[in-house]
Amino acid sequence: MSFNPKLCRNESEVESKLIVQYLLPTLGYDASKWHQEVALGSIRLDFLALTSQIFPKISDSSPKICVVIEAKHPKQNLNLHVRRLRRYLTKLQVMYGVLTNGKDFRIYQLVGEQIDLIFQCEGSEIADKIEKISDIIGRDKLAGLETNKSIPAIALTNALTNQIDITLPSSENISLTTPESTTMKTIAIYHNKGGVGKTTTTINLAAAMSRKGLKVLIIDLDSQANTTFAAGLMKFDSEEDDTLKDSNIYNVVFYPKSNYIHEIALKGSFTYPEVDVIPAHINLIWQEANLIDKENSKFQLIKKLDLVKDDYDVVLIDTPPSLNLYAKIALIACDYLIIPSDLKPFANEGLRNVRNFIEEIDEFRTFVNRSVINVLGVLPSKILTNANYIKATLPKQEKVVVERYGFPVLETRIFQREDLSRAIDNFVMEGDHQIPDPKSIFDFKPDSMSAAEFEELANEVLQKIGLRS
């Protein structure tokens, strides 16, 4: 049996053709000794390989003799994922971790609170070096190490699907659980500075989630209506043909007893499977005064979303780069918050305003018996791809976000690439007319680095909000 990395064109094929079909059986792990999509508390692993159907108790202080395997898109730079693997191994106290994108293959070993790279080869060399790999993480090798230890353990059972969901409760035991309820999750995408990638994040995160089989609703609350355009809803050429001016998010939040979500939502043509979209409109600018005078306008979106809570898994709300009423409506309605930022000085300084705004909204939410906003983190977006910048400057900028402004930073990074702008600016010709035909990155260039990054973002966000990725 051999492996050809050229057969792996995406992350799914790295998982199936390299890990499942070649690596695990060659290393001696039969189907009962490895598990896919393993949930350990807040951590979700691509693969967990064991010497038997056991996993040590959490209280066991010595490293657990098993292997975490993480698969990435062939175009992903593995250096960007070492930090996450280190968190997995140190938090779970697992001895070995494999990181691979098919073209690059690495084995890391847990050493204290750090991990050391102990083996690396190109994908084309894996078959030739499989004996060396087996001598490090092969089942027989690890079983030999395990015989020298007394490890309290429990059985992991899953005879039907080879996918398990494990939680880490407060006790020492690990228990198998059913997946979390898919109660609708509402996520606002907000920063009070413009040009940081809110629209790009909203559109492509929605597409990534839709491709995973989730039912997604986008709500555009920004009068600039960039997300409405990017969703493919602005096909008209003139004001006379404007189909959105009398049917958009304003109608939802202004009228308490009409204009419900399903009456206003349109099918976004930017991705497949299609996503429902509540459009915005330029008229929102002057219509805000009408809402300010309307006492309950802040609550209409919450009420109408509650009526469709069984129809959607995820709601993504794009917001204006301001502290206005529309931004307040979004942050009052959301459960979670993502803050896209290019991490440049003005964007970072703006985080102080964001923090103060969140505190103001949380105070109001508490007053009306809503829990405070769960901030998933600052999303590094529109990040330069310069290698020196990524190595030297980017970590410092991320550190500033945490230490100076008190926000967590998401592990996924969205880099500034031409494919992302070209996807939204895509068009088709109909006679002499240039018709906008915006696409998500998955529909425009599915094998691109940007697509791989948004796939990573969707996985990370779904883990954090408790939906299976």
Distance CA 47, CA 19 (A): 9
DSSP structural state of residue 383? B
Q: Which of 9, 73, 13 is nearest to 451 (CA)?
A: 73
| CB atoms inside a 10 Å sphere around CB 334 | 28
Per-residue pLDDT of the chain (469 residues; tens, 9 = 90+): 667 888 888 888 888 889 988 999 999 998 878 888 787 766 788 899 988 766 655 555 678 889 999 999 888 888 888 888 998 999 888 999 999 999 999 999 999 889 999 999 999 999 999 999 999 999 999 988 866 554 344 334 333 233 333 433 332 333 223 334 458 999 999 999 989 999 999 999 999 999 888 999 999 999 999 999 999 988 766 677 778 888 899 999 998 888 999 999 999 989 988 899 999 999 999 999 999 888 788 889 999 999 999 999 999 999 999 999 999 999 999 999 999 999 998 888 899 999 999 999 999 999 888 999 999 999 999 999 898 999 899 999 999 999 999 999 999 999 999 999 999 998 887 777 778 889 999 999 988 889 989 999 999 999 899 886 4
Query: What pLDDT is attached to residue 292?
Result: 87
Per-residue model confidence as pLDDT tens digits over 3-25: 788 888 888 888 888 998 899 99
CA 209 from centroid of its chain's CA atoms: 8
User: Both 27 and 140 in a single domain?
Assistant: yes
Distance CA 242, CA 235 (A): 9
Taking CB atoms within 8 Å and a gap of at least 24, the contacts of 125-131 are 126/3, 126/5, 126/18, 126/22, 126/23, 127/2, 127/3, 130/26, 130/27
Residue 336 phi/psi, 5-degree rounding, is: -130, 160
User: Both 380 and 400 in a single domain?
Assistant: yes
User: Both 98 and 236 in a single domain?
Assistant: no
| CB atoms inside a 10 Å sphere around CB 46 | 19
**Distances in whole angstroms, Cα of residue 254 to Cα of each of 115, 150, 274, 292, 309:** 55, 66, 27, 10, 20
Query: What pLDDT is attached to residue 400?
Result: 92
CB-count exposure of residue 237 (10 Å: 0-12, 13-18, 19+): exposed
Helix H or strand E encompassing 328? helix 325-333
Distance CA 31, CA 20 (A): 9
Query: Beta strand pairing status for 64-71 and 43-49?
Result: antiparallel
Query: What pLDDT is attached to residue 175?
Result: 29
**How many domains is the chain partitioned into structurally?**
2
Both tokens of 294, joined, read: 């309307």
Both tokens of 140, joined, read: 């027989």
Query: What pLDDT is attached to residue 469?
Result: 44
Query: Domain boundary residue among 176, 210, 225?
Result: 176
User: Both 118 and 228 in a single domain?
Assistant: no
Distance CA 249, CA 223 (A): 10
User: Both 264 and 331 in a single domain?
Assistant: yes
Domain that holds residue 216: 185-465
User: Both 135 and 210 in a single domain?
Assistant: no
Query: What pLDDT is attached to residue 151?
Result: 39
User: Both 189 and 162 in a single domain?
Assistant: no
User: Both 121 and 207 in a single domain?
Assistant: no
User: Both 279 and 351 in a single domain?
Assistant: yes
Both tokens of 359, joined, read: 């505190």
User: Both 127 and 218 in a single domain?
Assistant: no
Q: What is the CATH number of the domain that holds 398?
A: 3.40.50.300
Asked if 159 contacts 31 with a C-beta cutoff of 8 angstroms, the reply is: no
First to last CA, the chain: 31
Query: Beta strand pairing status for 314-318 and 216-220?
Result: parallel
Query: What pLDDT is attached to residue 53?
Result: 61
Q: What is the CATH number of the domain that holds 133?
A: 3.90.1570.30
Query: What pLDDT is attached to residue 237?
Result: 66
Query: What pLDDT is attached to residue 55?
Result: 63
Residues in the chain: 469
Distance CA 311, CA 183 (A): 10
User: Both 204 and 152 in a single domain?
Assistant: no
Distance CA 171, CA 51 (A): 24
User: Both 171 and 190 in a single domain?
Assistant: no
Query: Beta strand pairing status for 374-380 and 34-40?
Result: unpaired
